[in-house]
């Protein structure tokens, strides 16, 4: 393994886990050619004519799928921190004595700290997907056998479609399914809304297993996952804890400082001229984002303005907008609360989408780039507007990328961030890990002021005279450093030991994550 300097000036390995890597070349610069990856040819003659693909249990399904050492197994994060299936799956794999699995989740959650013992004993070789909380800590301390790979939601599609990741077995947790394998997420005891993150896997994996705790007679309507792509169906007693899958109620932040940030964003997008009939936006489900929605709604009502579509993460607040006629459609990527699930089930204008519609680099266009503005978060932003969402300033890998990188292509990308957390400044001289290049990040909104990327002269001009506290990013940086008692010390990292790489949306490597020295 050799470290190469990429176009962002970051050192990245040319090879990891015995796979050659391409260093980041710049935004939109790397465009592979050839044909997309295709799954193996199957024949219906090999499948039960009566459509009944139900097998006894997970173990039998895995055995029939030919599970063996070194395979790639994919799972999905629709059940978030309430997921029981993935843990059950690896318990089974462990009992079967299979080793060196490459786990390819669309995201992981603290509930998956159960799997640390399998990372330790070699059942799992490494993770390619977000490493949240305890798993990130485990990887950061250099304990994982292989090198982790973090991709955006769109990057996952890209990696599957261009053959970078070949999935041997996809295991899809389905809140409702029929014996043929048709499946949906919008109903059943573990209803989570939609199953978009599993869509690529269902199409491209060699073997597809659907597991459900709510088996209904054929046909399962609607089908978000098409049974014609499914090999086996397994009935399990439970998929997880519904209260942790979707929250009963998502809540707007009560913190006055975060409310101030939310209010500034609403004033900013209005001053910048985005809030007009037919506009579109995406705002996520964090506390600031939800508060922003409330401020935006008030402005929209006052001006009598209606959005054409809003991209979810949906919550009760977005559903209210739809039902009050403030938007024509919700194009939903994941559902965060019960109201979102209900609305998706009942309202045809609340549409379930997947990363394919919005985020995939190999798609013939993406919804994400058509959006007027998007409001995102970050763990760090630097003076060049580069963003980090995966590591903290202490060097620990603690979060996944989600759709964050993919959303940066919107017409105006806004990061909503407190200027510091406890004593830790969020604006730094250089990000610990580069996840999003500054050229795609337009506006930083903190409680101490708003910094606009100097490249966006149009935005700077548009909000002039708005009375908003527009400041150079350096000024906020200095202000915060004076409060916290100087710049934070850089983390002690072992630069010889790469524990994970960060992929850009096109599959190139944009940065490396290093082992944290204790």
Binding site for another protein (CB under 8 A): 256-257, 259-260, 393-395, 421-424, 447-448, 482-486, 488-489, 491-492
Query: Closest distance between another protein and the C-beta of residue 161, in Å?
Result: 39
Q: Angle, to 10 degrees, between the axis of helix 256-271 and the axis of helix 287-303?
A: 40
Looking at the Cβ atoms of 110 and 363, the one nearer to another protein is 110
Query: Closest distance between another protein and the C-beta of residue 274, in Å?
Result: 23
Query: Closest distance between another protein and the C-beta of residue 505, in Å?
Result: 30
Nearest to 333 by CA among 240, 229, 504, 199: 199
Distance from the first to the final alpha carbon of the chain:
24
Looking at the Cβ atoms of 39 and 488, the one nearer to another protein is 488
Q: Which residues contact 107 (CB under 8 A, 6 or more apart)?
A: 77, 129, 130, 132, 197, 400, 402
Q: Which residues contact 504 (CB under 8 A, 6 or more apart)?
A: 24, 30, 155, 405, 510
Query: Closest distance between another protein and the C-beta of residue 448, in Å?
Result: 7
Query: Closest distance between another protein and the C-beta of residue 139, in Å?
Result: 17
Looking at the Cβ atoms of 31 and 423, the one nearer to another protein is 423
* Token pair for 452: 């606009």
Query: Closest distance between another protein and the C-beta of residue 391, in Å?
Result: 12
Quick one: which H or E segment has residue 126?
Answer: strand 124-127
Torsion angles phi and psi, residue 413, rounded to 5: -100, 120
Looking at the Cβ atoms of 50 and 422, the one nearer to another protein is 422
d(CA 459, CA 457): 5
Query: Closest distance between another protein and the C-beta of residue 504, in Å?
Result: 27
Looking at the Cβ atoms of 39 and 469, the one nearer to another protein is 469
Q: Is the dihedral of CA 172, 175, 181, 182 positive or negative?
A: negative
Quick one: which H or E segment has residue 135?
Answer: helix 133-140
Looking at the Cβ atoms of 56 and 518, the one nearer to another protein is 518
* Token pair for 45: 């003659």
d(CA 249, CA 79): 16
Looking at the Cβ atoms of 310 and 480, the one nearer to another protein is 480
Nearest to 332 by CA among 400, 436, 251, 246: 246
Looking at the Cβ atoms of 363 and 488, the one nearer to another protein is 488
Torsion angles phi and psi, residue 407, rounded to 5: -70, -20
CA angle 494, 498, 499 (to 5 degrees): 105
Query: Closest distance between another protein and the C-beta of residue 472, in Å?
Result: 17
Q: Quick count: other Cβ atoms within 10 Å of Cβ 419?
A: 21
Looking at the Cβ atoms of 289 and 354, the one nearer to another protein is 289
Nearest to 490 by CA among 458, 514, 459: 514
* Residue 157 DSSP class: H
Looking at the Cβ atoms of 20 and 423, the one nearer to another protein is 423
DSSP calls for 454-468 = TT-HHHHHHTTTS--
Query: Closest distance between another protein and the C-beta of residue 485, in Å?
Result: 4
Looking at the Cβ atoms of 2 and 518, the one nearer to another protein is 518
d(CA 416, CA 431): 16
Q: Which residues contact 328 (CB under 8 A, 6 or more apart)?
A: 306, 307, 308, 309, 349
d(CA 408, CA 388): 12
Residue that has been written with the tokens 């994060």 in this structure = 77
Query: Closest distance between another protein and the C-beta of residue 414, in Å?
Result: 19
């Amino acid at each position: 393994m050799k470290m190469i300097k990429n176009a962002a000036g970051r050192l990245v390995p040319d090879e990891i886990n015995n796979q050659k890597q391409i260093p980041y070349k710049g935004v939109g610069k790397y465009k592979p050619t050839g044909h997309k990856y295709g799954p193996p040819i199957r024949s219906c003659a090999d499948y039960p004519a009566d459509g009944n693909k139900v097998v006894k249990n997970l173990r039998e399904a895995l055995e029939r799928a030919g599970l063996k050492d070194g395979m790639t197994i994919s799972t999905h994060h629709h059940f978030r921190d309430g997921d029981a299936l993935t843990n059950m799956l690896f318990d089974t794999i462990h009992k079967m004595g299979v080793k060196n699995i490459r786990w390819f989740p669309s995201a992981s959650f603290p509930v998956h700290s159960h799997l640390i013992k399998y990372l330790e004993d070699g059942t799992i070789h490494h993770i390619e997907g977000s490493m949240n909380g305890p798993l990130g800590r485990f990887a950061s301390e250099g304990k994982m056998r292989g090198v982790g790979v973090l991709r955006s939601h769109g990057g996952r599609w890209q990696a599957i479609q261009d053959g970078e990741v070949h999935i041997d077995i996809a295991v899809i947790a389905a809140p409702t399914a029929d014996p043929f394998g048709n499946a949906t997420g919008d109903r059943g005891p573990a209803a989570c809304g939609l199953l978009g993150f599993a869509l690529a896997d269902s199409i491209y994996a060699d073997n597809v297993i659907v597991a459900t705790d709510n088996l209904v007679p054929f046909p399962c309507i609607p089908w978000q996952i098409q049974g014609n792509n499914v090999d086996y169906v397994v009935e399990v007693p439970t998929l997880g804890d519904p209260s942790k899958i979707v929250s009963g109620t998502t809540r707007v932040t009560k913190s006055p400082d975060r409310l101030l940030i939310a209010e500034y964003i609403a004033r900013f997008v209005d001053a910048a001229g985005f809030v007009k009939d037919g506009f579109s936006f995406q705002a996520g489900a964090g506390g600031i984002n939800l508060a922003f929605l409330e401020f935006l709604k008030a402005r929209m009502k006052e001006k009598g303005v209606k959005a054409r579509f809003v991209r979810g993460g949906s919550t009760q607040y977005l559903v209210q907008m739809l039902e009050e006629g403030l938007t024509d459609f919700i194009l939903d990527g994941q559902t965060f609360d019960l109201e979102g699930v209900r609305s998706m089930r009942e309202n045809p204008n609340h549409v379930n989408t997947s990363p394919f519609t919005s985020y995939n680099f190999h798609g013939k266009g993406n919804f994400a780039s058509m959006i007027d503005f998007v409001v995102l978060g970050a763990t760090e932003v630097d003076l060049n507007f580069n963003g980090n969402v995966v590591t903290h300033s202490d060097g620990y890998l603690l979060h996944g990328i989600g759709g964050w990188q993919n959303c940066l292509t919107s017409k105006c990308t806004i990061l909503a961030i407190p200027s510091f957390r406890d004593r830790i400044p969020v604006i730094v001289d250089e990000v610990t890990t580069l996840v999003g290049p500054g050229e795609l990040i337009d506006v930083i909104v903190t409680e101490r002021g708003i910094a606009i990327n100097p490249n966006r002269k149009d935005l700077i001009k548009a909000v002039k005279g708005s009375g908003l506290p527009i400041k150079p990013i350096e000024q906020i940086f200095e202000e915060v450093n004076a409060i916290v008692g100087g710049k934070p010390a850089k983390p002690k990292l072992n630069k010889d030991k790469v524990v994970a790489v960060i992929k850009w949306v096109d599959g190139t490597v944009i940065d490396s994550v290093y082992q944290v020295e204790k």
